[in-house]
């Protein structure tokens, strides 16, 4: 080997074993200690997204089973198993059999600390999912092999594509009669605008499903239907042409697998970890989440290829996870996780440094310091107090009303993380109090629920009229249910004819005053006191924009004020 080649190899090895942020400059006190760097490298934080009923919550539960966080898994919607899915802890979720709030779970697997954010699949709760995607470093997209790509899947992937979020695809329910695997891959590439590369491949489907072959590690995993235990029968197959394979799965299935493996290698581009991390190439796995099958291949590959905690951007600069000083942002707030204690918890994604219990941190919006004596980690609704946490971790902070979604905590730097907006709602109803004796409870409840991001609250004058804005009808049902069961307040909703709400600003004060007078019956304020314009239709909104060209209309709450 020549001198240049040796130098290149040594440089590569040094880079391979050196954290990326140390390459190119000397290590300084600006960055973490070696122990903290190792903790950082062992973090994996991801979200699970899918269309409703694709098996997302079931997959989450099975990850916990493989990680040892739970000992027995139950079918999510089986009447024979009374226990609800681990990650669906709200009473309404247990009754409806759907996820309506993001659940946060952490567990250890092969020396890695894995943080899962299980998101709502229902379109009416898409905004909660969008916000959650700001707190993850990668996602696993679950696709039902029977139904293929569905509408909500497309919308969720659009958000991932906007951020170039790395995506792994898990094609679920292979034990059912579904679509041809090649057709599914073609549909995913076409509909979701992402290239795919199978890393496992199914042997048969439905009643003929025999297992999956791991193209990445050349291992055969035979299918054994079992909803509560982990499949153990994994066979190393170094040569697909060996007669051993014929004896295990039959010659017909073996020949089909050989043909498929050769076709995959010839047609699909080789797997590249860099292309995956750039959000360009999605590795694909096949299995049956409800039967604990195909999960281990997915999980083992995930910890190898998924990104470590990534940088986040503030309004002024990029914050890197390896920086020594702590920073984090609130992406979710949830009241009454434990109805017996009426607690309110803010979920903080740690971006940089080390979070420590009982240490004072700077709340940048309120310009004051806060100390947290009981920060918690989560395994669904089970909480435990922690002393420290690192980038990638999600910490629960008990809150008495200090936090709003999007708030930033730091060790003193006045920064504000970007990319956690509220979206323009499309369904509007007036909130009516059905029990005047519970006015205080209703007011407290609606303020807390809208702080969580369940819906948006607007106030219209005269009369201090409370208007609730959502992106879906089901949110009103959730609000009504939770107000009654968590706050003892009874309410009703009266529909309004508005179709769109948008924030508005203008540099021309005279024009702004004129607009406020002419459109006063269509104007309200949001919870932060910012003016919002309600339009009866998209046509009327367009007419208003044309009539008032000096007024700027904003369709998310994150705009330059």
Least confident range of 156-160, 229-233, 519-523, 541-545: 229-233
Residues in the chain: 561
Across the chain, mean pLDDT equals 81
pLDDT value at position 233?
52
Confidence tier at 450 by pLDDT (50, 70, 90): confident
CA distance 181 to 137: 28
pLDDT value at position 39?
83
pLDDT value at position 226?
56
CA distance 412 to 363: 8
pLDDT value at position 227?
52
For residue 555, the number of C-alpha atoms closer than 13 Å in the C-beta half-sphere is: 8
Mean pLDDT confidence for 165-172:
95
More confident residue, 557 or 319: 319
ω into 462 cis (within 30 of 0): yes
Farthest CA pair distance, the chain: 86
CA distance 51 to 144: 8
Residue 92 near residue 481 (C-beta atoms within 8 A): yes
Least confident range of 138-147, 286-295, 313-322, 460-469: 286-295
DSSP letter, residue 293: B
**3-state class percentages of the chain: helix first, strand second, coil last, to nearest 5:** 30, 30, 40
pLDDT value at position 459?
95
pLDDT at 345 over 70: yes
Residue 266: CB partners within 8 Å, gap ≥ 6? none
pLDDT at 200 over 70: yes
pLDDT value at position 379?
62
Residue 140, H or E segment: strand 138-144
- Tell me what percent of the residues of the chain surpass a pLDDT of 90: 43
Residue 550 near residue 508 (C-beta atoms within 8 A): yes
Tokens of 374: 């009981």
pLDDT value at position 470?
85
pLDDT value at position 14?
40
Residue 171: CB partners within 8 Å, gap ≥ 6? 143, 145, 181, 184, 284, 285, 286, 287
| Residue 285: C-alpha distances to residues 53, 154, 199, 201, 535 (Å) | 18, 19, 6, 7, 45
Least confident range of 106-120, 293-307, 530-544: 106-120
pLDDT value at position 421?
65
Mean pLDDT confidence for 157-175:
88
The three-state secondary structure class of 506 is: coil
Q: Of 378, 420, 394, give the one whose Cα is nearest residue 309.
A: 394
Domain ranges (residues) in the chain = 43-305, 312-410, 427-554
Of 224-233, 291-300, 349-358, 450-459, highest mean pLDDT: 349-358
> Do 43-305 and 312-410 fold alike per CATH?
yes
Least confident range of 96-105, 427-436, 455-464, 543-552: 96-105
- Tell me what percent of the residues of the chain surpass a pLDDT of 70: 80
Class of domain 312-410: alpha beta
Confidence tier at 71 by pLDDT (50, 70, 90): low
What predicted TM-score, i.e. pTM, was given to this entire model?
0.76
CA distance 368 to 363: 5
Determine the Cα angle at 437 with ends 433 and 438, to 5°: 60
pLDDT at 91 over 60: no
More confident residue, 421 or 387: 387
| Residue 291: C-alpha distances to residues 200, 224, 234, 380 (Å) | 17, 8, 15, 21
Least confident range of 22-26, 93-97, 205-209: 22-26
- CATH topology (fold) of 427-554: Alpha-Beta Plaits (3.30.70)
Q: What is the 3-state secondary structure (H, E, C) of 168-229?
A: EEEEECCCCCCCCHHHHHHHHHHHHCCEEEECEEEECCHHHCCEEEECCCCEEEECCCCCCC
Q: Tell me which residue has tokens 């609000």.
A: 479
- CATH topology (fold) of 43-305: Rossmann fold (3.40.50)
Confidence tier at 189 by pLDDT (50, 70, 90): very high
pLDDT value at position 171?
95
CA distance 509 to 492: 38
Mean pLDDT confidence for 375-401:
83
Q: For the CA atoms of the chain, what is the radius of gyration?
A: 26
Confidence tier at 311 by pLDDT (50, 70, 90): very high
pLDDT value at position 17?
45
Least confident range of 70-84, 111-125, 206-220, 314-328: 70-84
Least confident range of 65-79, 457-471, 513-527: 65-79
Q: Of 490, 531, 138, give the one whose Cα is nearest residue 305.
A: 138
pLDDT value at position 123?
56
CB-neighbour burial class of residue 321 (10 A; exposed 0-12, middle 13-18, buried 19+): buried
pLDDT value at position 29?
56
| pLDDT tens profile 329-344 | 998 887 665 555 567 7
Least confident range of 43-57, 63-77, 323-337, 546-560: 63-77
More confident residue, 428 or 231: 428
């Amino acid at each position: 080997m020549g001198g240049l080649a040796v130098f290149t190899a040594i440089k590569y090895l040094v880079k391979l074993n050196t954290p990326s942020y140390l390459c190119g400059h000397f290590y300084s006190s600006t960055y973490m200690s070696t122990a903290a760097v190792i903790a950082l490298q062992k973090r994996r934080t991801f979200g699970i997204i899918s269309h409703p009923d694709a098996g997302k919550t079931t997959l989450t539960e099975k990850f916990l089973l493989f990680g040892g966080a739970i000992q027995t898994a139950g079918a999510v919607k089986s009447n024979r198993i009374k226990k609800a899915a681990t990650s669906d802890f709200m009473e309404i979720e247990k009754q409806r059999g759907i996820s309506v709030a993001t659940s946060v779970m952490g567990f250890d697997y092969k020396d890695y600390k894995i943080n899962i954010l299980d998101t709502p699949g229902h379109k009416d709760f898409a905004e909660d999912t969008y916000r959650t995607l700001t707190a993850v470093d990668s996602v696993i997209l679950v696709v039902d092999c029977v139904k293929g790509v569905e509408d909500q899947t497309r919308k969720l992937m659009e958000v991932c594509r906007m951020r170039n979020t790395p995506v792994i695809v898990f094609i679920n329910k292979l034990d059912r009669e579904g679509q041809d695997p090649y057709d599914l891959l073609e549909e995913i590439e076409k509909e979701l605008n992402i290239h795919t590369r199978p890393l496992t491949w199914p042997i048969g489907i439905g009643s003929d499903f025999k297992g999956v072959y791991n193209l990445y590690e050349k291992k055969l995993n035979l299918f054994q239907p079992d909803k509560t235990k982990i499949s153990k029968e994994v066979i190393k197959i170094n040569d697909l042409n060996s007669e051993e394979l014929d004896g295990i799965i039959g010659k017909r299935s073996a020949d089909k697998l050989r043909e498929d493996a050769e076709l995959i290698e010839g047609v699909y581009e080789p797997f590249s970890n860099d292309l995956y991390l750039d959000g360009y190439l999605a590795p694909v796995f096949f299995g049956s989440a409800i039967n604990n099958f195909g999960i281990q291949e997915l999980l083992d590959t995930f910890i190898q290829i998924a990104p470590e905690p990534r940088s986040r951007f503030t309004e002024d600069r990029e914050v890197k996870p390896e920086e020594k000083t702590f920073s984090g942002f609130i992406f979710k707030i949830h009241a009454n996780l434990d109805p017996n204690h009426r607690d309110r918890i803010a979920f903080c994604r740690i971006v940089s440094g080390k979070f420590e219990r009982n240490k004072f941190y700077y709340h940048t919006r309120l310009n004051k310091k806060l100390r947290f004596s009981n920060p918690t980690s989560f395994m669904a609704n089970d909480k435990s107090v922690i002393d420290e946490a690192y980038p990638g971790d999600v910490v629960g902070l008990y809150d008495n009303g200090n936090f709003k979604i999007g708030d930033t905590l730091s060790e003193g730097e006045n920064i504000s993380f970007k990319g956690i907006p509220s979206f323009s709602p499309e369904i509007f109803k007036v909130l009516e109090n059905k029990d005047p004796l519970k006015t205080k409870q209703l007011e407290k409840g609606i303020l807390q629920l809208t702080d969580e991001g369940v819906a948006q609250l607007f106030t219209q004058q005269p009369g201090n009229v409370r208007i609730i804005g959502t992106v879906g009808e089901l949110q009103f049902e959730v609000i009504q249910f939770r107000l009654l069961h968590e706050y003892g307040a009874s309410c009703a909703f009266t529909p309004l004819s508005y179709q769109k709400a948008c924030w508005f600003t203008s540099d021309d004060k005279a024009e702004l005053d004129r607009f406020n007078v002419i459109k006063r019956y269509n104007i309200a304020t949001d919870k932060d006191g910012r003016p919002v314009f309600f339009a009866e239709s998209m046509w009327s909104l367009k007419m208003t924009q044309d009539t008032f060209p000096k007024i700027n209309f904003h369709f998310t709450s994150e705009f330059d004020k």
